[in-house]
């Protein structure tokens, strides 16, 4: 028989080590759970008592209870937004005014379409010379960089029965 085989558990290993590991895991789990609970309660209290929020929000909420203050705030907000829109708005009336004022008298504007910075114009006249004069004046506006960045002649045609010439052009507004 072999005397070197030991069937009894050793003091260093075996069941004692497993119990110590289980005890450490229980302590760690308890600590982690208590930290999570404390943070949750703290966050709940912070939300309930508005801790860390600026004082302006409390004054705004008290102002909102007064109907006159609500109307005043609404009017101020709308005025601010209107002034912002007006400052960013393109002045299409000046562009169209400059084009129409410089056009010869026998040129009629059949349609005008404005999209963002693009201007589509359809004109007609009994004379090609008048349409040419209008194109020359538009070229001057582009050269001077006053109101138009560029323009292109999209189409030109003639109506035989009425003896009128029509022209469509597209311009890019500055």
Span 84-98, pLDDT tens digits: 888 877 778 888 888
pLDDT greater than 60 at residue 55: no
pTM for the model = 0.51
Residues of the chain with CATH 3.30.1360.100: 92-173
* CA dist., res. 125 & res. 129, Å (int): 9
* CA dist., res. 145 & res. 100, Å (int): 18
The pLDDT score that the predictor gives to residue 9 is 62
The pLDDT score that the predictor gives to residue 135 is 93
Q: 159 near 126, Cβ under 8 Å?
A: no
DSSP labels, 20-68: HHHHHHHHHHHHHHHHHHHHHHHHHHHHHTTTT--HHHHHHHHHTTSHH
Instruction: Give me the long-range contacts of 127-134 (CB less than 8 A, separation at least 24).
Output: 127/165, 128/165, 130/104, 130/106, 131/107, 131/156, 131/165, 131/167, 133/103, 133/104, 134/102, 134/103, 134/104, 134/107, 134/167
* CATH code, 92-173: 3.30.1360.100
* Higher-scoring residue by pLDDT: 35, 52: 35
The pLDDT score that the predictor gives to residue 35 is 96
pLDDT greater than 70 at residue 62: no
Phi, psi at residue 43, to the nearest 5°?
-65, -40
The pLDDT score that the predictor gives to residue 121 is 94
pLDDT greater than 60 at residue 129: yes
Q: 104 near 119, Cβ under 8 Å?
A: no
Token couple for 172? 């890019």
* CA dist., res. 44 & res. 51, Å (int): 10
The pLDDT score that the predictor gives to residue 84 is 86
Token couple for 86? 């007006």
pLDDT greater than 60 at residue 54: no
The pLDDT score that the predictor gives to residue 25 is 95
The pLDDT score that the predictor gives to residue 133 is 93
């Amino acid at each position: 028989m072999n005397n070197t085989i030991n069937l009894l558990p050793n003091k260093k290993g075996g069941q004692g080590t497993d119990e110590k590991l289980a005890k450490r895991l229980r302590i760690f789990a308890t600590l982690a759970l208590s930290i999570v609970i404390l943070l949750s309660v703290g966050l709940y209290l912070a939300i309930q008592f508005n801790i860390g929020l600026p004082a302006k929000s409390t004054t705004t909420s008290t102002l909102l209870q007064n109907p006159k203050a609500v109307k005043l705030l609404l009017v101020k907000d709308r005025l601010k937004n209107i002034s912002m829109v007006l400052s960013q708005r393109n002045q299409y009336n000046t562009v169209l005014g400059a084009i129409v004022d410089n056009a010869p008298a026998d040129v009629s504007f059949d349609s005008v379409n404005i999209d963002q910075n693009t201007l589509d114009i359809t004109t007609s006249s009994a004379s090609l010379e008048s349409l040419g004069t209008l194109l020359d004046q538009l070229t001057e506006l582009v050269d001077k960089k006053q109101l138009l960045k560029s323009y292109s002649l999209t189409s030109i045609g003639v109506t035989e029965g009425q003896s009128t010439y029509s022209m469509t052009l597209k311009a890019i507004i500055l």
